């Protein structure tokens, strides 16, 4: 319940939804905010410190253990919210006390095309494929491996030894490296109605990672869904993208310990973000094609950010989920420096969002990635 106790509502709107309801004690304001949000045409956050929340022995400001019934009331309010949208799912306790997870039922069993570009580094590719095949519970997927100018014999031997299967495509892209072109090429060849762009230097940790992404990407209002990526030292590599950091954008909570939940617990809740990284990005094919794929002017970097921002421009939302977790051995295959023209292009096309990320508080830092005060 991020709105807190200080909320201003139009009287007519509160009366329309029935005001506070009995049976939701402890989360009556959460329940009201949910019902009002379903009817309100616009909701605005005032980015000012307008009051301080007192804390006393019986207050939830000191911890939910003081009012344990709050959890049940909040779950009830959230489940009602889900039912009003005729969505099937459950409300579970989240990764930290006071947070909740709306877990939606997967509709049908769509085919997911997992697109993995690579150049040599068989050790990384083996780790990626082995973890994916041994740990992934969701089974209706195909692997689309895209070989971009591999030259080592061990790579060719490995590919030739892979068992032939209807759920495996091995494509050759014999041209100069261009991340956007490679993935656009592979997307055209892929068979799935769901596309998952995945780096070869990743390793699956959470067995339900595909379901955790799919439950959101199936929602018609959602474009891209991104995962929580961790460095091998158990710090965060990616938890969504924040615009405006270091002059362009950067990954939320990068280098923050996985054991910490971060500012307002945002590292460990499902939330809207401006963009997510294509190191692990899921999108419905229909949306990807509507956006005309990745912009091929971004050869090395920012094509994922540009894709997500174009989706926002069309009225979609992008989602980060902490329930899809992978290790990311970042940029071990290729060590490119970002091309200056790509940085300039991003700034030219998306200056308005770089200056005002709609999902990032204006009083927070534009230098660091840990959400400290600016």
Same domain, 181 and 289: yes
Domain final residue pick, 95, 120, 139: 95
**This prediction's pTM:** 0.94
In a domain, 66, yes or no: yes
Query: pLDDT by residue (tens digit) across 111-129?
Result: 999 999 999 999 999 999 9
Same domain, 141 and 197: yes
In a domain, 264, yes or no: yes
In a domain, 181, yes or no: yes
In a domain, 367, yes or no: no
Same domain, 69 and 119: no
In a domain, 340, yes or no: yes
Q: In sequence order, what DSSP letters do the residues of 119-160 get, joined into one string?
A: -S-HHHHHHHHHHHHHH-----EEEEEEE-S---HHHHHHHH
Same domain, 224 and 157: yes
CATH label of the domain that carries residue 146? 3.90.550.10
Helix orientation angle between 69-84 and 28-39, rounded to the nearest 10 degrees: 20
Same domain, 211 and 91: no
Predicted confidence at residue 68, as pLDDT, reads: 73
Same domain, 175 and 311: yes
In a domain, 373, yes or no: no
Residue 374 contacts residue 257 (beta carbons within 8 Å): no
Distance CA 178, CA 171 (A): 15
pLDDT along the chain (374 residues), means of 10: 88 97 94 96 89 70 64 95 95 94 96 98 97 98 98 97 95 97 98 98 98 98 98 97 97 97 96 98 98 97 98 98 96 61 96 97 95 93
List, in order, residues 6 or more apart from 92 with CB less than 8 Å away.
100, 101, 103
Predicted confidence at residue 337, as pLDDT, reads: 57
Same domain, 23 and 145: no
Provide Rg for the chain, Cα atoms.
Answer: 22
In a domain, 5, yes or no: no
Same domain, 51 and 87: yes
Q: In which domain, by residue range, is 78 found?
A: 11-95
Residue 320 contacts residue 222 (beta carbons within 8 Å): no
Residue 222 contacts residue 271 (beta carbons within 8 Å): no
Same domain, 226 and 118: yes
In a domain, 215, yes or no: yes
Predicted confidence at residue 69, as pLDDT, reads: 85
Query: pLDDT by residue (tens digit) across 5-50?
Result: 788 999 999 999 999 999 999 999 999 999 999 999 899 999 888 8
Q: What's the domain count of the chain?
A: 2
Helix orientation angle between 303-313 and 340-355, rounded to the nearest 10 degrees: 30
Same domain, 172 and 42: no
Same domain, 124 and 56: no
The Cα angle at residue 94 between residues 88 and 95, in degrees rounded to 5:
145
Same domain, 86 and 58: yes
List, in order, residues 6 or more apart from 333 with CB less than 8 Å away.
118, 119, 120, 121, 124, 199, 200, 201
């Amino acid at each position: 319940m991020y709105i807190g106790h200080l909320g201003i509502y139009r009287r007519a709107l509160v009366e329309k939804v029935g005001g506070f309801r009995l049976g939701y004690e402890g989360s009556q304001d959460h329940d009201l905010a949910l019902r009002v949000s379903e009817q309100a045409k616009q909701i605005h956050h005032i980015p000012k410190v307008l009051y301080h929340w007192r804390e006393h022995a019986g207050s939830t400001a000191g911890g939910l253990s003081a009012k344990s019934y709050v959890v049940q009331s909040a779950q009830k309010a959230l489940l009602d919210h889900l039912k009003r949208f005729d969505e099937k799912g459950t409300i579970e306790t989240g990764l930290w006390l006071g947070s909740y997870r709306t877990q939606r039922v997967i509709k049908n069993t769509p085919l997911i095309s997992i697109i993995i570009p690579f150049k040599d580094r068989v050790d990384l590719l083996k780790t990626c494929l082995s973890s994916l095949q041994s740990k992934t519970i969701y089974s209706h997927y195909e692997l689309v491996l895209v070989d971009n100018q591999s030259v080592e014999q061990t790579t060719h031997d490995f590919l030739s030894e892979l068992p032939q299967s209807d759920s495996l495509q091995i494509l050759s892209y014999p041209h100069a490296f261009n991340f956007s072109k490679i993935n656009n090429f592979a997307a055209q060849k892929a068979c799935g109605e769901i596309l998952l762009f995945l780096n070869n230097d990743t390793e699956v940790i959470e067995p339900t990672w595909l379901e955790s992404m799919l439950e959101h990407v199936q929602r018609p209002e959602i474009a891209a869904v991104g995962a929580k990526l961790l460095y091998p030292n158990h710090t965060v590599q990616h938890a969504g993208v924040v615009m405006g950091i270091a002059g362009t954008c950067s990954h939320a909570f990068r280098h923050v310990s996985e054991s910490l939940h971060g500012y307002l617990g945002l590292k460990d809740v499902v939330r809207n973000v401006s963009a997510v990284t294509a190191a692990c990005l899921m999108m419905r094919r229909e949306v990807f094609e509507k956006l005309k794929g990745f912009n091929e002017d971004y050869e090395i970097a920012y094509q994922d950010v540009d894709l997500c921002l174009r989706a926002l421009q069309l009225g979609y939302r992008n989602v980060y989920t902490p329930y899809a977790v992978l290790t990311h051995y970042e940029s071990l295959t290729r060590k490119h420096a970002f091309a200056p023209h790509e940085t300039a292009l991003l700034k030219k096309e998306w200056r308005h969002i770089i200056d005002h990320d709609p999902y990032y508080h204006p009083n927070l830092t534009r230098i660091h990635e840990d959400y400290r005060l600016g």
